[in-house]
Every structure is written in C-alpha cells, then in structure tokens.
Amino acid sequence: MTNATGPLTAPNGLPGAGTAAPAPTPGRGIRRIRVPQKLRNLELFLLLFVCAVNAFAVVLVQFGALGYADMTVFTLGVGLAVLVLGMHIALRFVATNADPFILPIAALLNGIGIAVIYRIDIAEKLTGWESTAVRQVVWSGVAIALAIGVILVIRNHRVLQRYTYIAMFVAAVLLLLPMLPVIGQEINGARVWIHVGAFSFQPGEVAKIALAVFFAGYLVSRRDSLSMVGTKFLGMRFPRARDLGPILVLWALSMSVIIFQRDLGTALLYFGLFVVMIYVATGRASWVVLGVGLFLAGGVIAGQVLTYVNDRFTNWLDAFNPAIYDEVGGSYQLVQGLFGLANGGLIGTGLGQGRPDITPLAQSDYIIASVGEELGLAGLFAIFALYLLFISRGFRISFAGQDDFGRLLGVGLSFTVALQCFIVIGGVTRVIPLTGLTTPFMAAGGSSLVANWIIVGLLLRLSDTVRNQPRLVI
C-alpha cells in the first residue's frame, strides 16, 4: 500500500477515504440538506436489541440463582438502557456520522458485566448499596455521562494535539496520586488506588488515555528524527543513542510502577501501548525489538529481586503443585478460576446456575472466569468476538483517518483495550502470568468503566471526523 512517510491513502471502499489534503469546511451560506441519519438509526436498532439482551440476562440470573424475578431488573437493566440511549441522542446531534457499532458493543459488554456482577452479589447475599452491581450501574452513569461530555466538548479531536504535554503532565500526576500518603491506598499488595470518602479509584486507568494522547502528539512531531536516522544492524535500522530517550523514560516509568506500585499489569499495558504507537509512527521494527528486549530484561530482573513478581511466575508455571496451591499468595485463585471455566464447559451452566463465587475476586479480576463458567466456551467466544469487533472499529478509524494524530490516537486507544483484554484474560487462562487488570467494560470497578467509556467517546468522535471529511474532488 503505502510506505511509512508517504501520502496517506486509505484502502479502497472505505467511506471517508481520502487524501491528506486539508478538508474544506462547508460554507456558511449553504443550507444544510436534511438527510436521514442512516448510521444513527442502525445504532438505535442495535441499542434496543442490546438493552433487551441485557435485561434478559438479569432476569435469567434471577431465575437461575433465586428461582424468581423481582424489580431489580429495572434498576440494573433500565438504568443502563436510559444512559446509553441518552448517549445515542447526544450522538444524533453532535456526531451524526459516528461509528454505529461502538456504542452498542460497549453497552452490551457493560450490561453482561452488570448481570454477572449481580449474580455474584446474589451468591454473597449483597443487596442495596452493598451490592456491587448497583454501584456498577451508578459508575456506568458517571462513565457514560463523561463520555457524552467528551463528545460534546471535543468537537474536533485535533484540539487534543495542542494539549500533548499537558496530557503528559496529567498522566504523571494521575500515576503519582496513589503514592501520596493520605489518599493513596494499598489493596491486595498493589498501591494503585486513591481513596476519597467512600470511593476508591484507580487513577492509573485514566492515565492510560492521557498517555495515549501524549504519545500520539509527541510521536507525530518527532517521528522523523525517530525513524530516519540510525545505524543498520542485523538488517534493521536502530535509533541513535540520543533518540533512545523516550523509550528509556517509558521503561523507567514501567519499572517504577512494578517496583513501587507492585502492579505488573499496568506496567505491561503502558509499555506495550508505547511500543506499538512508536512502531506505528516510525515504521521501524527495531523499536519493537528494543522495547520487548528492555521489558523482558526488566521483568527477569524484577522476577529475581521482587518476591511478588517471582510468585506470579511460579504460580503461572506450576499452578497445580499442592505446595504452591496452598501457599498464601499462591495459585489458589488461578486454579479455582480454571475449575470454574472447566465447570462451564462448552455451553456453560447457565446464568445463575454455576458457582463462580468460589473463585476470589469473581466480580472484578476474575469476571471472565465467571462468564466462562455460566455462559461456557460459546459465551466466551461471543464476548471475545465483541471485543475484536470493537477493536477493529477503532483500527478502522486509523486505517481511514486522514491526519496522523488522529490515526495514532485511534490505534493507541483501541490497542489499550486489546492489550488489556489479553493481559487479564491471558492471565486467567494461563497464557501469561496473572497480573491483575480489569476486563474492559465488564469487570466491577468505577475507574475502569470511566476510562473505557471515555475511550468510547473519543473513538466515536474520531470516527465522526473521519466520515465528515469530504472527499477531495479531483
């Protein structure tokens, strides 16, 4: 197709494909022609279907676990439905050409997540404000409101490029917040939480968005110096020593997250995001080689020095060893999660009819094991397919986009979702060591919901921009 620095041409057949020429804005005097909002109507149809599925899932949980249905379906199902339909209406006014699939997919994942969290609540006899599912609905409200805010406030994603270094500053502050003495809080050994009043929040989740914005802005301006010069070695052009600065800074940042916040997953997420974005920006595989090498080296050293990292590796490699299974901080959770998945088998026990609550953190870190137990392999495949579709819509924006900043931001944001899925689900299913991240949209937890819904808002805005670029008429 094209080379890294050549003219940006989207693959044929994609709407909005065009060239990098500046897009003329519609003249003020021209009366806007009222056209039916085909994309929005499709989105509405999908959303109504999704809301029905979500409510049905809650009812199934009730019949499965309680044997009867009560009014909870209205708080859990209708609450979310009102929110996502509100977002849909906002899109009708301010982003008419936004992608029609992103919102329904996020709403479906969020809704299934709430149903499964509610199922764990029933098993643990939590009701009212104690109920994680109720809090999840409230958090969904906050998150979706913020996403609507993103769409309303950011009318053009390019303004974000102006805030490149502010984004970096915001990311740094967010990352440092949990280290502060009063509001910082350590849960299960990881110091990644802040605690204000009754609310806990993981600022690192939101920091990844700020980081993606920063990387996109920074790399667009510096890509030439990062890609053009350097020495050739083993068939690859490696960067000059003085251009290694950014990757070393990011590496140091990730390592300090591992050492001081004891959070492997987040470190891997940030570093993976950076490596992918610098690769896409520069087109140089050497960055990937360098990045993976640095991270592996850091990981191996951390595994030698830090007990908790070493434990994660041991649990991963020898999970079924009785000694490791019984140990405090051993593989009990991992093995119980596998038992849960096995119990689900191909078609699952049915919603409300398994025993996912045996596994610790079944509603947050291990929600995918809970889903796998009650919806089976078939259900998991459907969930994975939804994630893949979501990510592919994000990538599509990058393929079709016309400005490099937007393209980089699109790939960065979608890739964090992909990488986060891989890290947490891969951890639960023993592809990689367990590191403890949240499953996007599904896991219980406000910070994760807020972060991922903001990503939804940004992707919708990006996709609207892409479609609104008029084709250059030659």
Partner 1 sequence: MTRELKRVSIVVFLMFVALFASTTTIQFFQADNLASDARNARTIYASYDTERGAILVGGQPIAESVPTNDEFKYQRVYPQGQLYSAVTGYYTLGQGSSQIEQSLNDYLSGTSDSQFLEYLNRLVTGQNPQGASVELSIDPVIQQAAYDALGSYQGAVVAIEPSTGRILAMVSKPDFDPNTLAVHDTQTVLDTYDSLLAAPGDPLINKTINDLNPPGSTFKIVTTSAALQNANLPIDHTEPNLARLPLPGSDSTVSNAGGGTCGGGDQVTIATAFILSCNIPMAELGVEMGEQPLADMAKAFGFGSELTVPMDVSTSVYPRGLDDAQLALSAFGQGSDVATPLQIAMLSAAVANGGKLMTPNLVDAIQAPDLSVLESFEAKELSTPLTSTTASQLSDLMVQAVDNGAATNARIDGVSVAGKTGTAENGEGDPYTLWFTGFAPADNPRVAVAVVVEDGGGLGQSGSGNELAAPIAKRVLEAGLSK
177 binds partner 1 (CB under 8 A): no
- Nearer to partner 1 by Cβ, of 303 and 426: the residue is 426
Provide the 10 A C-beta neighbour count for residue 279. Answer: 18
Among residues 95, 146, 171, 42, the alpha carbon closest in space to that of 397 is found at 95
Instruction: Return the number of the residue (48 or 289) whose C-beta is nearest partner 1.
Output: 289
Q: Which of 207, 276, 456, 459 binds partner 1 (CB under 8 A)?
A: 276
Segment interacting with partner 1, rule: CB under 8 A, options 38-46, 159-167, 201-209, 275-283: 275-283
> 12 to each of 9, 100, 175, 229, 400, how far by Cα in Å?
9, 20, 41, 32, 10
Give whole-number Cα distances, 180 to 184, 351, 381, 462, in Å: 5, 41, 41, 35
Instruction: Please report whether residue 133 would count as binding partner 1 according to CB under 8 A.
Output: no
342 binds partner 1 (CB under 8 A): yes
Cβ at position 58, least distance to partner 1 in Å = 18
Which region among 177-185, 198-206, 416-424, 433-441 touches partner 1 (by CB under 8 A)? 416-424
Cβ atoms of 263 and 190 within 8 Å: the answer is yes
Minimum CB separation of residue 225 from partner 1 in Å reads: 17
Q: Does 283 bind partner 1 (CB under 8 A)?
A: yes
- Residues 188-217 binding partner 1 (CB under 8 A) are none
DSSP for residue 244: -
Stretch that binds partner 1, among 97-105, 199-207, 256-264, 425-433 (CB under 8 A): 425-433
**Interaction between residue 407 and partner 1 (CB under 8 A):** yes
Cα–Cα distance measured from residue 154 to residue 159, given in angstroms and rounded to the nearest whole number: 7
CA end-to-end span of the chain: 21
Dihedrals φ, ψ of 245, to 5°?
-45, -60
Q: Is there binding between residue 295 and partner 1 (CB under 8 A)?
A: no
> Does 473 interact with partner 1 (rule: CB under 8 A)?
no
Does 22 contact partner 1 by CB under 8 A?
Answer: no
Binding status of residue 10 toward partner 1 by CB under 8 A: yes
**Burial (CB count within 10 angstroms: exposed 0-12, middle 13-18, buried 19+), residue 85:** middle
Q: Which is nearer to partner 1, 308 or 339 (CB)?
A: 339
335, 325 contact by CB (below 8 A): yes
Structural contact between residues 387 and 112, judged by C-beta atoms closer than 8 angstroms: no
330 binds partner 1 (CB under 8 A): no
Q: How far is the CB of 232 from partner 1 (least distance, A)?
A: 19
Q: How many CB atoms lie within 10 A of CB 78?
A: 15
425 binds partner 1 (CB under 8 A): yes
How many angstroms separate the CA atoms of 75 and 229, rounded? 59
Binding site residues, partner 1, CB under 8 A? 1-4, 8-11, 276, 279-281, 283, 320, 325, 335, 338-346, 354-355, 358, 372, 376-377, 380-381, 384, 387-388, 391-392, 395, 398-399, 404, 407, 411, 415, 418-419, 421-422, 425-426, 429-431
